[in-house]
Structure 1
Amino acid sequence: MGFFLETLFGGLMAGMLYSLIALGFVLIFKASGVFNFAQGAMVLFAALAMARFSEWFPKLLALDSKLLANLLAIVAAMLLMVVVAWVIERLVLGKLVNQEGVTLLMATLGIAYFLDGLGQTLFGNAIYKIDIGLPKDPLFLMESTFQGGILVSKEDLYAAAIAGVLVAALSLFFQKTATGRALRAVADDHQAAQSIGIPLSRIWVIVWSIAGFVALVAGIIWGSKLGVQFSLSLVALKALPVVILGGLTSVPGAILGGLIIGVGEKLSEVYIGPMFGGGIEIWFAYVLALVFLLVRPQGLFGEKIIDRV
């Protein structure tokens, strides 16, 4: 039982991090109605910016405080993501207002490749380290209940807590603020939103900036765990099944979808993997997403779309 709970907790922690990346997909889709294939590139770009700024600032500004250097690096990386959001709106999205969804989809693919190349040009292509002080040592829980206790990573606990707070804040933002309601209106109908005075360009800059912030948080956490390298953008591919499972328009769905996939892949790898030689963790999420596409395409919390003719 102790080993099962340990595996379960590990899956929940991984699921929260998948959910964090999936939030970026959901945010963009809620505001523009297009699936943002550039989210993985945004995670990588933000993580690279954070890693390199935290290296450069102590030398450029003669800083002795690591905490201050990290804070300045986070602020600078966030400002850079806002600039990226503004450029994307001005040079790409602003030119494609009221275009077909497939046109916007292809535009996000182009943005993804551009950010990958720009990140390599500006920050290099080596493996970089992010150290924001998250504890790396393990934590043993329930030692009095189970022999040896349940091993949990403190870093994963802190990361899950950060992701949970961010998710709650975003949920409140979309439901309780005028800007959040405007974002939902833009997603429903660009022309109707413009006709009632909602500034489409400003809304898109806001939502891409928020998605950039989410990408920065995800990049910092994943970069702290795995190091910042160009394979980090591949981690975002695991968020695709998450949004399919939870629903493209649902923030709570992104969370639940991430938890289901995180737990499911860990348990299946440990208990079923040995029967098939392992490797289930690699493809479990995609097979589950395929099943949902066949049975419930809108996901657990997505809105069912009915076209009347």
Structure 2
Amino acid sequence: MQFFIEVMVGGLLAGVMYSLVALGFVLIYKASGVFNFAQGALVLFAALTFVSIEKMGVPFWIALAITLGIMVLMGVAIERIVLRRLVNQPPISLFMATIGLSFFIEGLAQTVWGTEVHGLELGITDEPFDVMGVFISKFDLFAATLSGVLVAGLALFFQKTKLGRALRAVADDHQAALSVGIPLKHIWAIVWAVAGFVALVAGMLWGSRLGVQFALTLVVLKALPVLILGGFTSVPGAIVGGLIVGAGEKLAEVYLGPFIGGGIENWFPYMLALVFLLVRPEGLFGERHIERV
């Protein structure tokens, strides 16, 4: 039983980090209806930018502030230069634009910072400590706590602040929001700036765990099952979906892996999402779409 609890806790902590990654997708989709396939490239670029600046001898907090400024500017620039010009275009056009952005940002990261793999130290040792007989990784607990605070903070921001209510209004109906004086262009710019900030935090946490390398873009794909389970427009759904995926992935790896074979943790979340699509396509917290025909 103790081992089961350790596995479950480890999976849940990883799930909170998946929720943070998924949050970047949710923010953009809620405000503009765009599935931002470039979020993984933004996570990579943020981590690579931070570690490269720090290796120049810049102190940690100054490097963090510089990287945050770069990511906010990049998010605003993407919205203004690329996506603003594609307003009212078919969704597939917007989706293809974000795919192109993904490859462009990855290439830009290689051009500016190089292709070497870097280690990233946040000053948190990955040592287990005993909690009533259950061993928990210090780094996993720190990362999950930071991710949870950020996700909860953004959820409260959407629910309680004037700007958050404006963002929800834009998400519900662009034309109605515009008719009551909500500036869509400003709202979209703010959302992309926040998405850049989320990419920075996710990039630092996952980069510290896995190393800053181009495989980070693949980690972001784990956010897709999270979104399918929780719903593409729900911040609480991102949290719940992340917990389900994290716990399910870890339990499958430990208990089913010896019978099925190695690598089950790589595809189990996608199979779980596929089964879920057959039962509830809109996700646990997603809205049902009813169209008149």
TM-score (norm 1): 0.92
Structure-2 residue corresponding to 1:231? 215
The match for 2:94 among 90, 96, 104 is: 104
Distance in 2, matches of 1:195 and 1:118, equals 39
Aligned pairs (5 A) from 1:60-139:
69-139=59-129
Aligned pairs (5 A) from 1:270-281:
270-281=254-265
Contact kept, 8 Å, 1:30 with 1:184, in 2: the verdict is yes
Structure-2 residue corresponding to 1:258? 242
Distance in 1, matches of 2:43 and 2:246, equals 19
Distance in 1, matches of 2:260 and 2:87, equals 49
Residue 193 (structure 1) shift = 2.4
Distance in 1, matches of 2:69 and 2:290, equals 40
Aligned identity (percent) is: 62
Distance in 2, matches of 1:170 and 1:103, equals 29
Structure-2 residue corresponding to 1:141? 131
Residue 266 (structure 1) shift = 0.9
Equivalent position SS for 1:229: coil
Contact kept, 8 Å, 1:50 with 1:130, in 2: the verdict is no
Distance in 2, matches of 1:95 and 1:49, equals 28
Structure 2: runs of 5 or more not aligned: none
Residue 285 (structure 1) shift = 0.4
Contact kept, 8 Å, 1:97 with 1:190, in 2: the verdict is no
Equivalent position SS for 1:92: helix
Distance in 1, matches of 2:210 and 2:95, equals 29
Aligned pairs (5 A) from 1:124-203:
124-142=114-132, 149-203=133-187
Distance in 2, matches of 1:130 and 1:73, equals 13
CA deviations over 1:107-139 (Å, ceiling 9, x no partner): 111111111111111111101122121222221
Aligned residue type for 1:168: A
Structure-1 residue corresponding to 2:52? 52
Q: How many residues align?
A: 293
Structure with greater Cα Rg: 1
TM-score (norm 2): 0.97
Distance in 2, matches of 1:114 and 1:202, equals 24
Distance in 2, matches of 1:302 and 1:162, equals 25
Query: Which consecutive segments of 4 or more residues in structure 1 shift more than 3 A?
Result: none
